Every structure is written in C-alpha cells, then in structure tokens.
Amino acid sequence: MKKGIFLALAIMLAVALAGCGSSSDKTSSSGGSEKESKKVKVVTDATFAPFEYMDKGKIVGFDVDLLDAVMKEAGMEYELKNIGWDPLFAAVQGKEADMAVSAITIDKDRKQTYDFSIPYFESTHMILVKEGSTIKNALDLKGKVVGVQNGTTGQTAVEKILGAENKNIKKFENSVVAIMDLVNGGVEAVVTDNAVANEYVKNNPDAKVKAIEDRKNFESEFYGFMFPKGSELKAKIDPALKKVIESGKYTEIYKKWFGKEPNIDNLLK
C-alpha cells in the first residue's frame, strides 16, 4: 500500500522535473540563464610585462585590457587564469582552456596544432645585455651563453644563429628568471620580445642592462589569441577584435601601455 503511494509520488516528481528541465533548456538556448557556467576559460603566463604580469595579486597588462575589451564587444563572459607558458599550450591543446592570450606569436609550427585570431600586435626580438658588453648585434651572439624563455620564438631566433643543439642556449621557464640570470652574471645575453626588453630596461635603471635592436637578423612577427584547432570561438572573437582595433578602443589601450600611437594598418592588412 505505502509502496504504491511512494511510487506514484516518485513518478509525479520525475515528470515534474523533466518538464522543468526542458523549459530551462529553452531559455538557455535563447541565450539567457546558462551564461554563468559558460564562461570562456582563458589562460596566460603572467611573467611578460607589459603584456601580462602580476601586480598586487592581479593579472594586468596590455593583453589583459585588450582581452577585456574584446570579450565585452563579443558579449561573452570569461575568466583569466595564470598557469604558465608550457602549461598553457597543453591546456589549449587538451581543451581544458578555450583560449590563450599571452603575447603568443602566430607561427607556422603552432598553426599545425592551434588556431589563431587575426593579428593584434607586431613584434620583433631584441637582445638584452649588461652595459659594456661586447655584443652589438645578433651575429655577435655566436660563442656566447644566451638565455631564452623555453619554447618561445626567441628560442627559435637564437637557434637560427647558434644552431639548434647548441649547449650555449640556456632555456628558462619564463623571461623574468632569464633576465635575472643575466643581471646576476649567468648568461651573457637574453633574447626576448622587443616590448618586453624595452619595458625591463625602462623599469630597472639600476640593473645596468640595455636592449639592442637588430632588424636585419630578427624578423617581424605578430601576436594572436590562440584557440584549440577547430574552435568555434574564433568566428566570434575575430569580428570583435577587429571592431576593437578599428573603433579606437585598441588605440586607447595601446597608448595606456606604450605611451604612443599604434600602427594599426599593419594589423589590418
């Protein structure tokens, strides 16, 4: 007897829940309530000022402001996590992250495994040396101990000059520790992205380090947001990024971090 009532109640409850489920499905597919759980997961390596770095426990930088503007434009919520350089590639490849924003250069090799947004920043490499160093250009790096961030295009650029298997190339987990080693008399030079090299010199006058340009031996490259291969996000992010670049918002963010006007024609061509 009791069992029968219980069963009837259970069935009623199940039917009620099912009905409720389907109606909430409807609202979410029309773009409402599920947003909270659908936050885009963005990862970075916050050791690369002025693009992304930690300041009083917060991730800040040019990339962080740009990401925020783009996600607002696209009408998407997101969360940004600092997980480090090597881990961010694994996270995007394994789709634990939806996107990486980390001054990542769009290059041929990476394009085999990942998709990229349209370009948002033009970069080249620079050489950091101690003041008084005999190194004057990239070819002078031959025979020297050179620090790079592991797995960066800076490493590739140095390998081109010194040879890929060269033991004189010291690979660091991030550029902060590479530059620290230079300051402490470990490596004789560090090759990193020009804006990062310039930022370090500007912020650390006491370190007695200077940045050397070499446009003959270091090519231009472009940064992009990085997605898992085949991600649907690219189709939403690209138009939003383009809008941010064309609308003047990009220029505003660029001026905040670099104190001058950007050349946006190079990005949009």
Cβ at position 66, least distance to ligand ARG in Å: 13
Only segment of 15-23, 70-78, 99-107, 212-220 that touches ligand ARG (CB under 6 A): 99-107
Smaller CB separation from ligand ARG, 117 or 174 = 174
Please tell me the distance from the alpha carbon of residue 62 to that of residue 52, in angstroms, as a whole number.
Answer: 7
Cβ at position 224, least distance to ligand ARG in Å: 9
The residue within the footprint of ligand ARG, chosen from 43, 64, 92, 103 (CB under 6 A), is 103
For helices 249-258 and 233-247, angle between their N-to-C axes, nearest 10 degrees = 70
Return the H-helix or E-strand segment holding 60.
strand 58-60
Closest Cα partner for 80 from 64, 96, 103, 56?
64
Only segment of 14-22, 89-97, 101-109, 225-233 that touches ligand ARG (CB under 6 A): 101-109
Please tell me the distance from the alpha carbon of residue 68 to that of residue 33, in angstroms, as a whole number.
Answer: 21
Q: Is position 153 an interface residue for ligand ARG (rule: CB under 6 A)? A: yes
Please tell me the distance from the alpha carbon of residue 38 to that of residue 159, in angstroms, as a whole number.
Answer: 41
| Residues between 154 and 213 that touch ligand ARG (CB under 6 A) | 174, 193
Q: Interior CA angle at 148 toward 143 and 151, to 5°?
A: 125
Please give the size of the binding site for ligand ARG, defined by CB under 6 A. 14
Only segment of 26-34, 64-72, 145-153, 209-217 that touches ligand ARG (CB under 6 A): 145-153
Smaller CB separation from ligand ARG, 220 or 247 = 220
Smaller CB separation from ligand ARG, 117 or 149 = 149
DSSP line for 104-148: -B--HHHHHHEEE-S--EEE-EEEEEETT-S--SGGGGTTS-EEE
Smaller CB separation from ligand ARG, 47 or 117 = 47
Please tell me the distance from the alpha carbon of residue 199 to that of residue 202, in angstroms, as a whole number.
Answer: 5
The residue within the footprint of ligand ARG, chosen from 105, 172, 189, 190 (CB under 6 A), is 105
Smaller CB separation from ligand ARG, 52 or 73 = 52
Smaller CB separation from ligand ARG, 82 or 243 = 82
Smaller CB separation from ligand ARG, 28 or 203 = 203
Buried/exposed 207-243: b ≥16 CB within 10 Å, e otherwise: bebebbebeeebeebbbbbbbbeebebbebbbebbbe
Residue whose pair of structure tokens reads 């004057």 in the numeric block: 136
| Residues between 21 and 60 that touch ligand ARG (CB under 6 A) | 45, 47-48, 52
* Binding residues for ligand ARG (CB under 6 A): 45, 47-48, 52, 85, 102-105, 149, 152-153, 174, 193
